[in-house]
Structure 1
Amino acid sequence: MKERLLFTLVLIIGIYMIVPWIATRIFAIGVFRKGKLSSQVALTFDDGPDPAYTPVLLDLLRRHGAKATFFVLGSKAERYPDLIERIHRDGHQIGIHNYSHKSNWFMSPWTVRRKQADRSADIVASITGTKPVVYRPPWGVLNVFDLFLLKSYTVVLWSVMPKDWRSRVGRTKLKSRLLSRIREGSVVLLHDSGDTFGADADAPGYMLNALDEVLASMKQRGLEPVRVDELLNSSLKHRLGLFKRVLVNAWMAWERCFVKLFHLKLVDIGNPLVKLRVREYQGRQSIVLPDGEQIRKGDLVAEMHLDNYTLFRLGIDSRSSVQLATQLIRRTRMLMPEISKLLLTDPQYQHVKGLYGITMIHRGSKQLGFTVFDLPNGWFARMTRTYLRLLLYVVHPNGKERLKEKTNLLEPKIVAISKNELKIRYIA
């Protein structure tokens, strides 16, 4: 009898707590946690508003021209209506984070809906005139009934969580985490208050210092900080078909395996377009560069690989292959000084003769100092052509149509630049 009661209790707990956790946190069922096909990023801030930190944060966002979403506690909205009014006036989105910072696991579903979510939404609406439509549960946990009773809200979780509620993380580590994890479409979880259970009171100060530098870096990477509703609308507009989604996911999985298998090194965490590896040049014909440098079979080169995930994201906003090439040239130009520094100072690249790659997107590379060569005819050229065309089909949302546009311009070429030319152009 006791065993049966224990089993029943465990089953009820599992259905009430664990099932929705698996559904939302692992499979993203019924929640929004990451944008699709967008160069936008949603910065979100929980647990406020806070009279010490929220005004500073709002000043920071205004200085960078950034928009964000604030998931506020209803109890704090009651205490600080002026802050709620300013968040709204500054053009940010206001969402709900319950009336008090309590877990939905330990409340009845009707309490969550009426006394936490709806009560908080009514408070915000009375201040701003606009009722919130997005909701984030404390600690990101829902009970099973929330999936049905909170249908009037879009439940928003996150894809980047740098754990900024801990002071020991500090500004430097927090900045590094954000720069390495933020990608196009990310939903970033941050906190503008440190007075909730488990948080350090001074932690938001470190977050603000790190965020100032992160926002500057995001601008350089072409990432736009937006509200959650803007990211959500952009994601719906660019939604892919099932076959393309499966193909893209499979290709990105192959990309991750390739990077690990061949030990590719990222040049810049903040601009993850280019990865490098040292290898022997295997071409049948020597490459003779304008400055007299020759790369023969067996010579070491730094082989350049473009990150397929970044290509995919850039392709989303490109109206044509020409525009995509323009964006690639711009981003590569930003990386060239760092690439040059690696080849000239890092012992790993001590014996390489230059930078080398094979690409179909080679227009404009000459302005960066590269020399463009035809790929010698043969089986390797045919395989490379097939591979790169398949890559373009995958990474561009309209890849099939792009392959029909001026196919003579989609021939793979060798691009190369000597180490000495890199030094003259980007170091000296």
Structure 2
Amino acid sequence: MRNYLLDVWNIIDPIYYTCSRLHSVSENDQKNSNNTLFRVRLTNYLGNDVVLQDGTIIHKHDLLLKIHLHNVKILNELRKTDNQFKKALYIYHEIKRGLPMLANYISLHEKSNEIKGIIGITSLSQGANKLGFEVFDIKNTYYRTYKKYAISPMNFIANTSIKAPVYLLMSKNKLINTYHFSRI
């Protein structure tokens, strides 16, 4: 059943990608180069004010780069193993590998000066702090419940338990200072 659902998701994903205004983050920002797990789009933050560890304050309506993981790509890769530790390690290392490219993407973005940071929503937040993300609860009960059920099909296919989703945030300065590489 899970494999069937993943096959259907593989068909639907390109349509979702096109309709959702997402952009892939890739090495050298070329469409045919090595893509990361990150898909991104600009968004205005709508949550409660948040103060990050580096002093950055994220207010309602601040411009953020919303990160989405390429879930179909992840699940296709994780089909090969049932070991939960190996699955978590794969995701961790792929995200870590993609963060320098994300830093490069944001530093070259036409609205780079306006972007305050990056945001993601996930139910898999273990290890996020080691990568530089800060984890914040989603305060709005309705939105948290909506996201929990929106994420549940992926959790079913991945055979992982459903946990309450959280915000992952990182300031643009922290991302660039920690992960940015220059093009030589």
1:247 corresponds in structure 2 to 5
Q: 1:275 maps to what in 2?
A: 39
Aligned equivalent of 1:426: 179
The answer to whether the 8 A contact 1:340-1:426 is kept is yes
- Is 1:390 aligned to 2:143, yes or no? no
Rounded Cα–Cα distance in structure 2 between residues aligned with 1:348 and 1:261? 22
Cα–Cα, structure 1 residues 335 and 272, in superposed 2: closer, same or farther, change >3 Å?
closer
Give the partner amino acid of 1:313.
N
RMSD: 1.9
CA contact (8 A) 2:67 2:118 kept: yes
CA distance in 1, matches of 2:11, 2:143: 24
Match of 1:332 in 2: 95
- Tell me the distance in 2 between the aligned counterparts of 1:313 and 1:261: 22
Taking structure 1 as the reference length, the TM-score comes to: 0.39
Q: Report the Cα offset of residue 295 of structure 1.
A: 1.4
Cα distance between partner residues in 2 of 1:324 and 1:375: 25
Which one has the largest radius of gyration? 1
Per the TM alignment, residue 348 of structure 1 is displaced from its structure 2 partner at its CA by 4.1
Map Cα deviations across residues 382-402 of structure 1 (whole Å, 9 max, x no partner): 1111121221212x2xx2xx3
| Aligned match of 2:64 | 301
Looking at structure 1, the residues matched to 155 and 43 of structure 2 have their Cα atoms a distance apart, in angstroms, of 25
Q: Which residue matches 1:373? A: 136
TM-score of the two chains, using structure 2 as the length reference: 0.85
Match of 2:127 among 364, 369, 374: 364
Aligned-residue sequence identity (percent) comes to 23
How much does 1:381 deviate?
0.4
Deviations 1:129-159 (A, max 9, x none): xxxxxxxxxxxxxxxxxxxxxxxxxxxxxxx
Residues 272 and 326 of structure 1: CA distance in aligned 2, closer, same or farther (over 3 Å): same
Return the offset for 1:257.
2.0
Q: Does 1:413 align with 2:177?
A: no
Alignment of 1:93-132 (within 5 A): none
Contact persistence 2:6–2:72 (CA under 8 A): no
Shift in alpha-carbon separation, 1:322–1:375, aligned structure 2, 3 A: farther
Equivalent AA in structure 2 for residue 421 of structure 1? K
2:30 is matched with none
Matched, 1:315 2:72: no
Contact 1:280–1:301 (8 Å) recurs in 2 = yes
Structure with higher strand content: 2
Deviation at 1:357, TM superposition (A): 0.1
Residues matched between the structures, number:
175
TM-aligned CA distance change 1:279 to 1:292, over 3 Å: same
